[in-house]
Structures are given as structure tokens and as C-alpha cells.
Structure 1
Amino acid sequence: MTGRVAVHELGLDGDVQVNRKYHGGEGQAVYAYAQEDADFWIAELGRELPPGRFGENLRTSGLDLTGALLGERWRIGTAMFEVTAPRIPCANFARFWDEPQLVKRFTAYGATGAYLRVLETGRIGAGDGVRVVHRPGHGVTTGRAFRIFTTQKARVAELAPALHHLPLKDQPKVRTRIDARTAAGA
């Protein structure tokens, strides 16, 4: 990212989200991925992965995105963001990298980055620090949510305290799963 970029309710200036059914929208307006996790993949795959290669809008440094809490709020530049969800990789992700086993490997590694909702529009630029201004007390991290969504679905009730932080489009589906699990006595 060069210069300062405007942050709008649905993302960064110039960012186009083609299929908002699965990507983008209010709860996935911006996607952040950590340089430390990119470094793992650079070593693992033996190739360069410059910013944007994960589909991210923001490449962070020094911030544990897997440990970020759903609902955590970040000030970057003059904009305010809220962590809403982990990224769930799909087959398109694997094709984009030309790595057939990437979804399985990405899931095993578990560092998925974080989707963000825009709470306050503004401007951001390369080198802007990320200041965590609020951390809710529920303890549901992006890493924990990722495991529940992918490999530990029986634990879905653990998402209940953070449900209202998820993207609006996902809340009814997750609520239904929580209710079904609770009704089953699990």
C-alpha cells in the first residue's frame, strides 16, 4: 500500500469484492494477515509471498492475529476496525497458489488472519501502527473460532458470547447451530 488510502464501510478504496455472498460485505470489509504467519509459509513453500498474496488488504507485523478476540477493536490511521471472524480457506485459495493441498495445510497450521468490519471510516497508510483499543472479555479468539468452524464443530456453543461480533450474514446460521447443539444436550 502506498500513500494513504480511504477506508469506507465496505472496505478500502480500490478494493473490489466480486462475490459478496462469500467474500466481503460489512463483516468482511477488510482482511488482515500477519507477516509472521506469511514468513511461515515463505519457509514452508520456499517462495516469496508479497503483501496481498493471501488476499489480504492489510499485512500486519507484531500482532498475534490468531489470538485476536472477536469484537476486538483496532485503530489504524484515522479508521476504526472490529475483528469479526477468521478466514476459512476454500478451493479457490488453493488454485490461486497452485497448491492442491493448501486448504488442508492452511487448516492444520491454523493461522488464518482476521476479517474486520469498519466501525469508523478514515484513512490508512503503509507503516501505520495497529493500536488495540478494546478487547472484550469473552475469550473467543479468531484461532478458537477457526477450529470450531472447521475441525471442532461440536464446540459451536462456545461461540455464543461472541456471536454478535460475527459478520451479520453469518449470525443466523451460527445461532441455529448453537441452538441445535444446545437442544441436543451437548
Structure 2
Amino acid sequence: MLPLIAMGAPFFPLGQQHERLPAKVVAALERLGHVLVAVHGRAGMEAGLTSLQVFLLMELSGQVKLGVRELAARFSVSRPTVSRSLAILEQKRLVQAASHPEDARRVLFSLSRQGKKLVASLGAGLQPLLAGVEALTPAQQAALWEGLLAVLGQWERLGLMSAARTCPTCRFFRREPGKPQAFCELLARPLTVEQLRLDCPEHQAMQETG
């Protein structure tokens, strides 16, 4: 069992939070974010890493190699900060760097074999968090997932966060009125709520044409 994580002060004044449902949702998301940061921070301390270094490793565990610019945008930190963290991870042989295939001036990072092993062990520490979600009914899980994707899309449009590469913000995504399932034109097949993705490697923003 994870040690109890102390919560900070409410995100909104309690009077405002209790009177408005959107304020309750944002306050709850803030609490959830606090828990995730704390869990990753503890895992990082055990591995001799900072929270940012843990987040970078988790982000690099995807299928797409990423550069300093993309990583800095995703975590809303400066490029020098990301560069320093990546340099430490490279010294620890947890990440490896390679030149961009189309631009030799750019460097892309991916996990090393040792880094993949560490990420797998860090992921095991998230099991209590997964258990909390798995305790919900399938309908509750689907509704929560669809709602979170909608919030991410709105925050992205408002410029509050970098692209999350979700299905609903992709130019291949279609949702016909009155139909229960969405449709992916790239895969040429319908998508259930459970199949909607975050950080899809084939994602293309709606304004992109190529």
C-alpha cells in the first residue's frame, strides 16, 4: 500500500468550489495530479532520479523518439532544464541519443535497454493507482476516459497545454451525430470509447493537411 499523500490547500476557495461543478472538477483533477507527482517523486527518489527525470523516462517509453523541444513543450519547462536532465539520464545510461534522420542538427532521445527495465519497474509502482480505476464499473471507466479526453482537447485549444495527440483532436477522427461509435479514417474502422488514444503515434492535428 502506498503511504498516505497529504493534500495541499484547495485549488479554489471552498465556497466557490462547492457552488460550481466545473470548479469541483478542476479541484479534483488538481488533487489527482498532486498524487501522481508524489508517486513519481517517491519512485524517482528510490532510483536516484528527480520527478522530472522520471517523467522524461515515462514519456520516452512511447513509440516515438523525441527531442528537447518536444519534451520541454510537453512538460512546460525550459529547454535548458530538459537538456540538463537528459544529460544526466544519458550519463546513467538510461537514455540514448541519435541524430534526426532529416535534420542532423537535431537530436532525438529514446530509452536504452537499461532505461526500459527501469521504466518497467517504475510502472509496477503505479499498480495501486490502476487498482483505484479498475474498481470502477466499465461504464464509469468509459465515461471518465471520454470526459478526460474532452477536457484535454479544450485545454489544448485554449493554449493551456501542448498537444496531447488524442483521437478527438486528430484530422482522421470522425463522430457522426446519432452514432454510438466514432470512426478513424486512417484505420478505416469504427472506434469504441475504450479504443480512443492518448499520444497516438499516427496523430495529425486537424489543421495539418500533410
Normalised by the length of structure 2, the TM-score is 0.27
Greater Rg over alpha carbons, structure: 2
> Which of the two has greater strand per residue?
1
Identify the structure with bigger relative contact order (alpha carbons < 8 Å, sequence gap 6+).
1
